Amino acid sequence: MISPTSKKPDVRLRKGQIIIGKWHKRQYQVIRLLGSGAIGTVYLCLYQNRKVALKMSIQSAAITSEVNVLKSFQAVQGHHLGPALIDVDDYVTSAGHHYAFYIMEYISGDTLTSFINQNGNQWLSPLLLGLVKDLEVLHKQGYVFGDLKLENLIVARNPAKLRWVDVGGTTWKGRAIKEYTEFYDRAYWGCGTRKADAGYDLFALAMVILRVYYPDGFARGQNPRKTLRQKIDQAVDIEPLKHLLKQLVDQTFHEAGQVHRFLLTHAMKRQTTRAKQVQPINEPLYPVVEMIGVLTVGAGYCLYLML
């Protein structure tokens, strides 16, 4: 019963290396390393002149579990939940060790932090709206994302959309969260259990937003809940967002739909108040602006005639 994984050496793929699957015999050429997590490493690869992402791990079991999740996502039609699954296979090294891997769609883009730094934090609301919508669909499917964190999210372009790239933590509702990261973990902050429910993801969502404001994170301190409230008050400069974060952290929202509605209401409200503020100034000015316009055109015409 000695597991082969405990004797197997860790695997490192070289740039330019060609990986051929044991079962399907497809060829993938390694371009570069994309990132490495608790289970497995992700590489950017070339397959039939197309960029794809390859995830390989020393733990075959974990890879297989993730593939199961990705497969079930594809059953949801018309909605992109996570990257599309392209292939599943084994890589056999010259020493005869087997490493399970899968190939998925390569999602390119910026990290949320760099996107917000470049484009301003007014983008937070629309990006969150999209993500919350995805979470809602996921939760309806009976899953909880689990390991929601900045590293697992990418802002894909055209249109700008926040997408998740690693589904390793996805867990059936009611079960124990498969994979998590302390800073984003509800139980770590003493705000609930580690059992998969919608609220678990919503808590992590709040921490994702907080992490944009605190790129290096912060310690939980003597009273974790108090620390959270203080950190929200100190940094978050958008009033409705501050309110939302506190509710997420306090777990007053139980469903992603509630967060979606909250964001929607506040995004709308801000637009209408701004319109109201702008219009009263503009309206009386309108005839004046028009007159100036007419006069300018007239003056131009006169000048033209004189010349």
Partner 1 sequence: MKAGNLKQILLITDGCSNQGENPAMVASLVAEQGITVNVIGILEDTQSEQPEGLEEVEDVAVNGRGVSQIVYQQALTQTVQTVTKQAMTETLQGVVNHELKHILGQETTIEELPPEQRGEVMEVVDELGETCSLEVLVLVDTSASMANKLLAVQEALIDLSISMNARMGDNRFAVYQFPGRKKPIQQLVDWTSRLDSISSIFSKISSGGITPTGPALKEAMYQFGKKSLRRRFRKDDLSNIEEA
Instruction: Reply yes or no on whether 147 is catalytic.
Output: yes
Which segment (47-55, 188-196, 248-256, 271-279) binds partner 1 by CB under 8 A?
188-196
**Site size toward partner 1, by CB under 8 A:** 33
* Catalytic residue selected from 147, 166, 185, 197: 147
Residue linked to tokens 């973990």: 185
Assess 215 for contact with partner 1 (CB under 8 A): no
Q: Which of residues 88-117 bind partner 1 (CB under 8 A)?
A: 88-90, 98, 100
The binder of partner 1 chosen from 41, 53, 54, 65 (CB under 8 A)? 65
Assess 67 for contact with partner 1 (CB under 8 A): yes
Structure tokens of 250?
Answer: 């306090």
Please enumerate in sequence order all residues whose Cβ is within 8 A of that of 284, keeping only pairs 6 or more positions apart, or say none.
none
Assess 187 for contact with partner 1 (CB under 8 A): yes
**CB 215 to partner 1: min, Å:** 19
Assess 188 for contact with partner 1 (CB under 8 A): yes
Give 3-state DSSP helix, strand, coil % of the chain, rounded to 5. 45, 20, 35
Assess 5 for contact with partner 1 (CB under 8 A): yes
Distance, CA of 158 to CA of 163 (rounded, Å) = 12
Contact status, residue 144 vs residue 177, Cβ threshold 8 Å: yes
Which segment (28-36, 41-49, 86-94, 104-112) binds partner 1 by CB under 8 A?
86-94
Buried b / exposed e across 72-102, counting CB within 10 Å, b at 16+? Answer: ebeeeeeebbbbebbbbbbbeeeeebebbbb
DSSP 76: S
Q: Which of 119, 102, 190, 179 is nearest to 145 (CA)?
A: 179
The binder of partner 1 chosen from 182, 233, 239, 290 (CB under 8 A)? 182
Residue ranges that bind partner 1, judged by CB under 8 A: 1-7, 23, 38, 59-61, 64-65, 67-68, 71, 88-90, 98, 100, 174-177, 182, 187-188, 193-196
Report, as residue numbers or ranges, the catalytic residues: 147
